Amino acid sequence: MIVLDEPYVSEPLIAWLEESQHPVLDNAFARSIADGRALNLVSSDEAVRRIDAGERVYTNSENALAWIVESAHNESLSRAIGLFKDKAAMRAALAGLDPDLFFKSCSVDELFKLDFSQLPAPFVLKPSVGFCSMGVYAIQNREDWERALADIQQNASSWHDMYPESVIGAGSFILEGYLEGTEYALDAYFDETGRAHILNVLRHDFTSPEDTSDRMYVTSASIVRDTSTMFASWLDRVNALIGARNFPVHVEVRVSDGHVSPIEFNPLRFAGLGGTDVSWYGYGYRTYQAFLEDDEPDFDAAFDGKTDKVYSMSLLNAPADASGDEDFDYDAFLGRFSHVLEMRPFDVKRVGNYGFLFLETDPSTSDELDFLMRSDLKEFLR
């Protein structure tokens, strides 16, 4: 069962839904994106019946979570959604896995009353419920702290213009110790027994410790092969505490000296805004199909002949001083790259970004990734 919702559904997902005739909730958004495609739309009553019976369910967007929780009567599913989505609740549930990590939750009113001198910098400040790094700040010193509070005051209302409260909950925040190490994003799911299955691993690269953007995620045969066993084992430990079943998650973690620490869990979906399609462009398998049909990809076959290839997905965030009224020169931007797999333009005022770029690079074109990660994109604004 699939529930589609705003703001975006990718063409590979739509094409697969038409080809497979997998059931899709008949709602206004699904009808709007069908556009003559023969999707297998099912009524709300039928969708609820399927979800309540335990059928696997996947969403393209966290906007769909509210309908599932409010309409279905699958208590196990609703509990897992609520726990995974609430960063504070999840951190508390997994406290035993990182007992020495500083963690504090507070309301937005309490946030502005905190005494910075009593806080153990460095730490990360972020909404208890969030999406795409909105409202996430790396705090190294008092100047960072004051800048973050000012930004929250100025921009919190605009976050809600783009996403509902269930996706961006700027009414409460968490502070947690800054995690050292390499950051990764996992597309994974728990099967009917609760065992974890890894569908893709992406390394999340940054330009500096202060960088919190979603500009650079890369995957390769070596990244997946070198880390998937470690991450599956760690997710098994996580789920021994949570108890999710038949449940997809997109997870962000940091790894230092072999120790995995969670950053956040995103329930009932894989990489957002269609980012999970990087596995389709790079390796020829669909993560959502693998989950819904319980058919894990054959990594050996998927990686055959691609050992020197790197596949990246990049969210093109706007410069801090951009108004949103500028035109983005996609042709000039794409001219900087030798092997574009897909460019998905977004309405920056609606989504908060200019689009999603998917690339293939190899050792001879690796400098393209450095440019992409470090460019502020101002040269492409008109």
Question: What is the residue-wise DSSP string for 302-331?
Answer: HHTT-TT-EEEEEEEEPPTT--S-SPB-HH
Q: How many CB atoms lie within 10 A of CB 156?
A: 16
Q: Could you give the CA distance from residue 211 to residue 261 in angstroms, rounded to a whole number?
A: 19
Model pLDDT, residue 251: 97
pTM reported for the whole predicted model: 0.87
Q: List the 340-345 sheet strands across, edge first.
A: 259-267, 247-256, 182-190, 196-205, 216-219, 310-317, 353-361, 340-345
Q: What angle do CA 307, 311, 312 make, to 5 degrees?
A: 150
Joined tokens for residue 169: 């909950």
What element of type H or E holds 301?
helix 299-303
CB 201 within 8 A of CB 226: no
Task: Report the candidate in 238, 246, 295, 241 with the shortest Cα–Cα distance to residue 268.
Answer: 246
Backbone φ and ψ for 170, nearest 5 degrees, come out as -85, 15
Model pLDDT, residue 373: 95
Model pLDDT, residue 35: 82
Task: Report the candidate in 87, 81, 36, 34 with the shortest Cα–Cα distance to residue 62.
Answer: 81
Model pLDDT, residue 178: 84
Exposed, middle or buried: residue 341 (CB in 10 Å: 0-12, 13-18, 19+)? middle
Task: Report the candidate in 51, 174, 36 with the shortest Cα–Cα distance to residue 104.
Answer: 174
Considering the four listed CATH numbers 1.10.3720.10, 3.30.1490.20, 3.60.15.10, 3.40.50.720, the one that applies to the domain covering 101-175 is: 3.30.1490.20
Between the CA of residue 289 and those of 22, 75, 297, what are the distances in Å?
Answer: 10, 25, 10
Q: List the 169-177 sheet strands across, edge first.
A: 103-107, 169-177, 123-129, 137-139
Listed by start position, the domains of the chain span 1-82, 101-175, 180-378
Tokens 């609820």 belong to which residue? 48
CA 139 to chain centre: 22
Full DSSP string of 261-284? EEEEEEET-SSTTTGGGHHHHHHS
Going by their DSSP bridges, the two strands 2-3 and 58-59 should be labelled as parallel
Model pLDDT, residue 63: 92
CB 16 within 8 A of CB 38: no
Which DSSP symbol is given to 180?
P
Q: Could you give the CA distance from residue 21 to residue 37 in angstroms, rounded to a whole number?
A: 11
Model pLDDT, residue 162: 54
Beta-carbon contacts of 146 under 8 Å, excluding residues fewer than 6 positions away, are: none
- pLDDT of the chain along its 382 residues, tens only? 999 999 899 999 999 999 999 999 999 999 999 888 999 999 999 999 999 999 999 999 999 999 999 999 999 999 999 999 888 888 889 999 998 888 888 888 899 999 999 998 898 898 876 545 567 898 999 999 999 998 888 876 565 555 455 444 456 888 988 888 999 999 999 999 999 999 999 999 999 887 878 999 999 999 999 999 999 999 999 999 999 999 999 999 999 999 999 999 999 999 999 999 999 999 999 999 999 999 999 999 999 999 999 999 999 999 988 988 999 999 999 999 999 999 999 999 888 899 999 999 999 999 999 999 999 999 999 9
CB 156 within 8 A of CB 135: yes
CB 5 within 8 A of CB 29: yes
The CATH superfamily assigned to 180-378 is ATP-grasp fold, B domain (3.30.470.20)
Q: Could you give the CA distance from residue 113 to residue 368 in angstroms, rounded to a whole number?
A: 44
- Write out the E strands in the chain: 2-3, 24-25, 41-42, 58-59, 103-107, 123-129, 137-139, 169-177, 182-190, 196-205, 216-219, 247-256, 259-267, 310-317, 340-345, 353-361
